Amino acid sequence: MERDLVEYIAKNLVNHPDKVEIYTKRTRSAFIIKLHVMQGDMGRVIGKQGRVANAIRTLLKATDNDKKHNRVILEIN
Amino acid sequence: MQDSLEFTGETIDEAVAKGLKEMGVASSDVVVEVLEEPSRGVFGIGARPARVRLKLLRPPTPPRRNVLIEDAIDEDEDEEDEGDYHASLAKEISEPTEEGAVAQQVLTELLKRMNIRHFRVVVRRADIQENGENPPWILDITGKNVSHLIGRRGETLNALQYITRLITSKQIQRRANIVVDVDGYKAKRSERLEQLANRMADQAVRQNRTVYLEPMPPNERRIIHMTLRHRTDGETKSQGEGESRKVTIIPIQQ
């Protein structure tokens, strides 16, 4: 679910949706989502002062998850 | 098939449900415009039904690759099937997509991926603005367990609106003029803020001292500023940064 959400948002904001890649990793304390986009698209998924990235994080927090991981971490690079 | 039809019912939800059934489409296939809110009347006199107009959308994006064929023809009314659209309609609808409809689609896609079940996004046009600007489309999320989508100080709601606006703007290639609301939260909140603004301004003038309001998000501060901008006995300013930015009301000596 969280992965789908990040993927949907990223692909609809960037100019090169085919270059969007997402990796996920589950650790004991968190669920980590790594988002990769083309260099030129970085600004679109981060936003001024990280506004877009923070909005995505806010939505991740409000996402109902069945597994109840402790927290979801979004990394963009 | 006509691409826009009107329906009535005792409640808005009922009218919408009737329309969807009659048109044989899912709620994500249409944009709902509320023409008239239902009114109970007095002792049944003057009661008016809810009136809505359902307008078919052009199917937005090709179906996701993992959609099973059975899903596309399944007319199950289960809300979880909201994302599927009637395949045969796909070719018939060629009307250009409009702001409100695209935004509704985007918001629906976001909410589904946030695992929100049993919700509906009702779209209507806001009233004409005082300042003559184009009225925005209001996308109101209604449903059983949607109140947590407001978040602390409307934080989640604002994030939803921001992302929905960004994606919609990109799709229509101009700035989307939309507001996202949850069960009329913002509408009610704005009424309360107007009352608060006037009350605190009166207090500032009466006591002849500056009044500091609670920290508020930008859209709420804006309501305070707008409410008080015609007053000649006081002025408003925002101070502080980020999360703790708040409005102050400063009395003006007459």
Condensed to tens digits (0 to 9), the pLDDT of residues B206-249 reads 999 999 999 998 889 999 999 999 889 999 999 998 888 999 99
Closest alpha carbon within chain B to A49: B242
Cα B63 to chain centroid distance, Å, stands at 26
In degrees and rounded to multiples of 5, residue B220 shows phi and psi of -80, -40
Of the candidates B124, B128, B129, B152, the residue with the CA atom closest to the CA atom of residue B226? B129
Are the C-beta atoms of A57 and A18 separated by less than 8 Å?
no
Residue B166 has its nearest CB partner, among A5, A13, A63, at: A13
Torsional sign, CA B129, B215, B201, B194 = positive
Of the candidates B213, B214, B203, B216, the residue with the CA atom closest to the CA atom of residue B251? B203
Q: What is the pLDDT of residue B9?
A: 84
Instruction: Specify the pTM.
Output: 0.65
Residue A8 has its nearest CB partner, among B109, B116, B151, at: B109
Residue A4 has its nearest CB partner, among B113, B156, B162, at: B113
Expressed as residue numbers, the domain containing A60 is 1-76
* CATH classification at residue A53: 3.30.300.20
Quote the number of domains for chain A. 1
Residue B150 and residue A41: Cα distance in Å, rounded?
Answer: 29
Element (H, E) at A33: strand A31-36
For an interface test with B, give the residue of A12, A22, A48, A67 to mutate (most B CBs within 10 A): A12
User: Cβ A5–B110 below 8 Å, yes or no?
Assistant: yes
Residue B146 and residue B141: Cα distance in Å, rounded?
Answer: 7
Confidence of residue B131 (pLDDT cuts 50, 70, 90): low
- Tens digits of per-residue pLDDT, B28-70? 778 888 877 777 665 556 677 888 888 877 554 444 333 333 3
Mean pLDDT, chain B, integer:
79
Task: Give the residue-averaged pLDDT of B130-136.
Answer: 74
Q: What is the pLDDT of residue B44?
A: 55
- Tens digits of per-residue pLDDT, B143-162? 988 988 999 888 999 999 99
Q: Which residues of A touch B242 (CB under 8 A)?
A: none
Are the C-beta atoms of A34 and A25 separated by less than 8 Å?
yes
Q: What is the pLDDT along chain A (77 residues), one digit of tens a residue?
A: 789 999 999 999 999 999 999 999 988 888 999 999 999 999 999 999 999 999 999 999 988 766 566 688 899 88
ipTM above 0.90, yes or no: yes
Q: Quickly count helices (H) and strands (E) in chain A.
A: 3, 3
Instruction: Give B51's contacts (C-beta < 8 A, 6+ positions apart).
Output: B6, B7, B8, B15, B34, B35, B36
Are the C-beta atoms of A31 and A72 separated by less than 8 Å?
yes
Q: By three-state DSSP, how is residue B146 classified? A: coil
